[in-house]
Amino acid sequence: MRSGREVFAGLDFSLAGGDALLVLGRNGAGKSSLLRTIAGLVRIAAGRLVLEGGASDLTLPEQAHYVGHHDAVKPALTVRENLAFWAQYLGGEMDAVRDGSLDAALEALALGNLAALPAAYLSAGQRRRLSLARLLAVQRPIWLLDEPTSALDTAAQERLAGVMRGHLAAGGIILAATHGPIGLADAQELRLGGASPAGEAV
């Protein structure tokens, strides 16, 4: 439910380790709402969300990364300080900060040379890559990505696709709300909202 309105109903899907699911549909079909529900940000009205084989002492949202439309970057902090903040907020061990995992995450998203730069000077694409870097800074099995390629140029999209394929190869799960391909050729598809009106991109 959203503002008292039923957004979607009758959804039934399951994913195993190594699976990716593209959530498709026109604007307002409920793609973001579905990801936010799985992330624990929206209360589920009916049904169940179950993660089998995860950490028994953690909830499903505690084992998922959610990257939404907003990049949540603090302009006054440097690129590395932003990532360190998110790593600590998300429960990352400070040993991981010291052993270079933050720097490795920045390098993976081509931000290593910008680590000391205040985030206020980043372009939209660089801010998006910084937001995505927290996927690697703190390990969680489920990635919930809302339009992950937004503001990314072709090279950055290809780099992100490689990062996502690496997560899947390690047994992770990805659910991505998107209007187009994101470089995961074998991904399953879930279409919300029925057929789109003629001429509307999905």
* pLDDT exceeds 60 at position 193: yes
The model's pTM = 0.89
In the chain, DSSP assigns E strands to 20-24, 64-67, 142-146, 173-177, 188-191
Residue 11 resides in a domain: no
For the stretch 118-170, pLDDT in tens is 999 999 999 999 999 999 999 999 999 999 999 999 999 999 999 999 999 99
Domain interval for residue 32: 20-45+57-191
- The CATH number assigned to the domain holding 34 equals 3.40.50.300
User: How many domains, the chain?
Assistant: 1
Q: Is residue 83 part of a domain?
A: yes
Maximum separation of any 2 CA atoms in the chain, in Å: 53
- The answer to the question of residue 127 being in a domain is yes
- Does residue 14 carry a pLDDT above 50? yes
| Residue 132 in tokens | 């995505």
Mean pLDDT to the nearest integer, 49-70: 89
- Assess if residue 143 is contained within a domain: yes
Q: Tell me, what's the pLDDT at 197?
A: 39
Does some domain include residue 201? no
**Residues in contact with 30: Cβ distance below 8 Å, sequence separation at least 6, in sequence order:** 2, 7, 8, 192, 193
Q: Could you tell me the pLDDT band of residue 39, with boundaries at 50, 70 and 90?
A: very high
Asked whether the beta carbons of 130 and 146 are under 8 A apart, the reply is no
Strand order in the sheet with 64-67: 64-67, 142-146, 173-177, 20-24, 188-191
Quickly state the pLDDT bin for 13 (edges 50, 70, 90): confident
Range of weakest confidence among 8-12, 32-36, 188-192: 8-12
Is residue 1 included in any domain, yes or no? no
